[in-house]
């Protein structure tokens, strides 16, 4: 049985599209994090959720999330570098 859950990070949507990230906190699971979240950009969109969903679908199909062969720090660097 496969269970999928990672609800350790949440943010408040201010206008339904954007969320202000005024906190200096950095939290999340690196292999599923969108580049905007890794870069701690001040405004993120719901596109970050789509990114994470895509990573989850990838994991369900392949058995591991994208970049899982890398350690977490290297994976975060690769995610940001490849997105730009």
Taking alpha carbons only, the member of 60, 68, 62, 67 closest to residue 82 is 67
pLDDT tens by residue, the chain, 84 residues: 555 555 555 555 565 554 455 555 556 788 999 999 899 888 788 888 899 899 999 999 999 999 999 999 999 999 999 986
Looking at residue 15, its pLDDT comes to: 59
- Output phi, psi for 51, to 5 deg: -55, -50
SS (H, E, C) the chain: CCCCCCCCCCCCCCCCCEEECCCCCCCCCHHHCCHHHHCCCCEEECHHHHHHHHHHHHHHHHCCCCCCCCCHHHHHHHHHHHHC
Q: What pTM did the predictor assign? A: 0.70
């Amino acid at each position: 049985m496969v269970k999928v859950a990672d609800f350790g990070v949440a943010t408040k949507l201010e206008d339904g599209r954007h969320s202000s990230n005024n906190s200096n906190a950095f939290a999340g699971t690196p292999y599923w994090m969108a580049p905007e979240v890794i870069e701690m950009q001040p405004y993120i969109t719901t596109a970050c959720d789509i990114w994470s969903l895509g990573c989850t679908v990838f994991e369900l199909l392949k058995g591991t999330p994208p970049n899982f062969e890398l350690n977490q720090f290297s994976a975060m660097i690769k995610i940001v570098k490849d997105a730009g």
